[in-house]
Amino acid sequence: MMRKILSLALLLAFCTPAFAIDKVAIVDVQKVVNKSGQVQALKKEQEAKSKEMQEFIKKANADVKAQTDDKKKQEVAKKYEKELKAKREANAKAYKAKLEAIDKSVSATINNYAQTNGYDLVLVKGAVLYGGDDITDAVSKVVK
């Protein structure tokens, strides 16, 4: 029942002249994000961090193997495990923060482009079967 009321309300809202939508755009957000220079830089940064992490693990394994005393070997292994966990958590936190910043930047760019070019509504390309101006390439050029 609630779903029918909501559907009817949305239908009436879009049919009312006050909510007239004259110009609709569609955008392939995934394509825009993949072409983003920020995303490319983040990918390179993640690759570098991955290599650093691999080197750290190699060094830690070598250090653990070099220990002759079993008790000392366990202590060193625990120390490196703790460090590795902290590094992974820090990397994941930084990565998440940067992704969120990129998402905000891309969204703002799409919004600014749409407003500047007089679009009343922008939809995700995957949700549209037909219609709307595809602004993906134009926005991709603007995204940094």
- The predicted model gives 134-144 an average pLDDT of 85
Domain annotation covers residue 3: no
Domain that holds residue 29: 17-142
Domain annotation covers residue 91: yes
Domain annotation covers residue 10: no
What percentage of the chain reaches a pLDDT higher than 70? Answer: 85
* Tally of structural domains, the chain: 1
Q: What is the mean pLDDT of the chain?
A: 84
Domain annotation covers residue 117: yes
Q: Does residue 141 carry a pLDDT above 60?
A: yes
Q: Residue 31 maps to which CATH number?
A: 3.30.910.20
* DSSP string for the chain: -HHHHHHHHHHHHHHSGGG----EEEE-HHHHHHH-HHHHHHHHHHHHHHHHHHHHHHHHHHHHHH--SHHHHHHHHHHHHHHHHHHHHHHHHHHHHHHHHHHHHHHHHHHHHHHHTT-SEEEEGGG-SS-SEE-HHHHHHH--
Tens of pLDDT, residues 43-58? 999 999 999 999 999 9
Tens of pLDDT, residues 115-130? 999 998 888 888 888 8
- The predicted model gives 12-25 an average pLDDT of 65
